[in-house]
Amino acid sequence: MPDYKPNQFIRALAVLALVAAFIAVVAVVITSEGSSDGGDGNGARAKTERPNKRGREALDRGVWIVRSGDTLGKISEETGMDVDTLIELNPDLDPQVLLEGQRIDLR
């Protein structure tokens, strides 16, 4: 029976692949920590940007009229209000089910 000699190149390549995989996982975790809404647009944000034109108009009226595709995260971004505040102002609101034409109080 021939003597078994492990291939040093394959061993080194396996170690490098393991290190690369670890670095990739760490990079994904670090970059995903900045997003507290989990990617679905409904998570609360600590601080939002200034309202855009539609957001300013809604703030002046004190009410947001839901359009197709709106989420609390999107409304939060457009009005500059955080999601928690929107939920506090609208206790009967189901954040998962926004209906077109629904009114969301902003005051």
- CATH number where 85 lies: 3.10.350.10
pLDDT, residue 66, reads 94
Residue 30 lies in a domain: no
- Is residue 57 one of the residues assigned to a domain? yes
In which band, very low, low, confident or very high, does the pLDDT at 39 lie, cut at 50, 70 and 90? very low
Instruction: Assess if residue 58 is contained within a domain.
Output: yes
pLDDT cut 90: percent of the chain above it = 53
Domains contained in the chain, number? 1
| pLDDT mean over 25-29 | 89
- Residue 70: count other Cβ atoms within 10 Å of its Cβ: 18
Whether 67 is covered by a domain: the verdict is: yes
pLDDT at 2: 67
> pLDDT tens digits, residue range 51-81?
888 889 999 999 999 999 999 999 999 999 9
Residue 73 counted as domain residue: yes
Backbone angles phi, psi at 69, to 5 degrees: 90, -5
Please answer whether residues 105 and 89 qualify as being in contact, where contact means their C-beta atoms are separated by less than 8 angstroms. yes
Model pTM above 0.75: no
